[in-house]
Structure 1
Amino acid sequence: MLSTLKKANLYLSYFGFSKVPLLWLSRPKILAMDEEMVEIKIPLKRRTKNHLNSMYIGALVMGADVAGGFMAAMKAQKQGRKISLAFKGLKAEFLMRPESDVHFICRDGRLIDAMLEETLSTGERVNQDVRITAICPDLHGDKAMAEFDLTLSIKAR
């Protein structure tokens, strides 16, 4: 029997391959996931790095997108609900060059629960900023490389 984490990684790989090939090429992996947080890793490889040998800005934003969006999608699926999910806004602060594999951490599980509850009860679209922090634990421990505020927009279908 596959663990929840392995199932989630298979789903993420399938979703990337079938719906967002650029995501699949970046090879994201879910490292940890619970009701309150998710941690995604994108390896620093030829496909994700820039000319300065640090992670390309597009790969960084993709990692933030996956961390915020995957948690909302999994929570809705766990409840047996269908939602429409998109990001409406992005604010990013780049603090240091990420020169190794980057981990993207979203700890807004409770906020996403409240958003799901609201859209499921009202049927209206709900928009809230979720915070994602990017770190390079191999080089800098828990020191933030970048911080993202993505405006998550969800609506019950």
Structure 2
Amino acid sequence: MKLTVSKLNRFIFFKLPAAFICGIRVKSIDKDQCVVTVKHRWINQNPFNSMYFAVQAMAAEMTTGAMVIDKIQSSGKKISMLVANNKSNYSKKATGRITFVCKDGNLIEEAVQKTITNGEGQTFWMKSIGTNEDGVQVSEMDFEWSVRLK
């Protein structure tokens, strides 16, 4: 079953209500990249009148995790996934609409295939970059995903 933008946004609504309330929405996904946006609003702000770091992390994680879900589903195997580690760097106040893009979809296939082939868990790092409406980078986040057969 193909993973689509509407299916992912429905998933956010039913399974990640805090992300949905904060305004996180998937805009596009394919085998190589995923784009997620979130707009700075009262519900997701910090005391400094910018977007709370955890909201940015949720949106960034969605760009990486959505592609991992897609690759696992297309493998046809029962594989668990988990964020094992993450790193973040915030370089500018996040105001307005922030767009997170991950272009590391190519890293997932190899890890999933190795897990299926040898039965051992695999880890890999994926990067998501957040930019504001002017195209200026506001944050950069790296997520270490762990996949293994159930």
Q: Which residue number in structure 2 is paired with residue 22 of structure 1?
A: 18
SS in 2 for 1:47: helix
Which amino acid is 2:8 matched to?
A
Q: Which residue number in structure 2 is paired with residue 5 of structure 1?
A: 5
Residues 81 and 24 of structure 1: CA distance in aligned 2, closer, same or farther (over 3 Å): farther
Structure 1 position 103 matched with structure 2 position 99: yes
Listed one character per residue, the Cα deviations across residues 22-78 of structure 1 (whole Å, up to 9, x for unaligned) are: 223223211111110000112212221112221101111111221111110122113
Matches within 5 A, 1:1-157: 4-16=4-16, 21-136=17-132, 138=133, 140-141=134-135, 143-157=136-150
Distance in 2 between residues matched to 1:8 and 1:78, nearest whole Å: 15
Distance in 2 between residues matched to 1:10 and 1:78, nearest whole Å: 19
Listed one character per residue, the Cα deviations across residues 69-98 of structure 1 (whole Å, up to 9, x for unaligned) are: 111012211333332111111111111111
Distance in 1 between residues matched to 2:41 and 2:76, nearest whole Å: 36
SS in 1 for 2:115: helix
TM-score, normalised relative to structure 1: 0.86
Q: Which runs of 5+ in 2 are unaligned?
A: none
Q: Which runs of 5+ in 1 are unaligned?
A: none
Which amino acid is 2:4 matched to?
T
How far 1:8 sits from its partner (Å)? Answer: 2.6
Listed one character per residue, the Cα deviations across residues 113-135 of structure 1 (whole Å, up to 9, x for unaligned) are: 11111112122111111111011
Measured on the aligned residues, the alpha-carbon RMSD in Å equals: 1.7
Moved more, 3-12 or 40-49: 3-12
Percent identity for Structure 1 against Structure 2: 23
Moved more, 125-134 or 71-80: 71-80
Distance in 2 between residues matched to 1:14 and 1:81, nearest whole Å: 24
- Stretches of 4+ aligned residues off by more than 3 angstroms: none
Distance in 2 between residues matched to 1:12 and 1:83, nearest whole Å: 20
TM-score, normalised relative to structure 2: 0.89
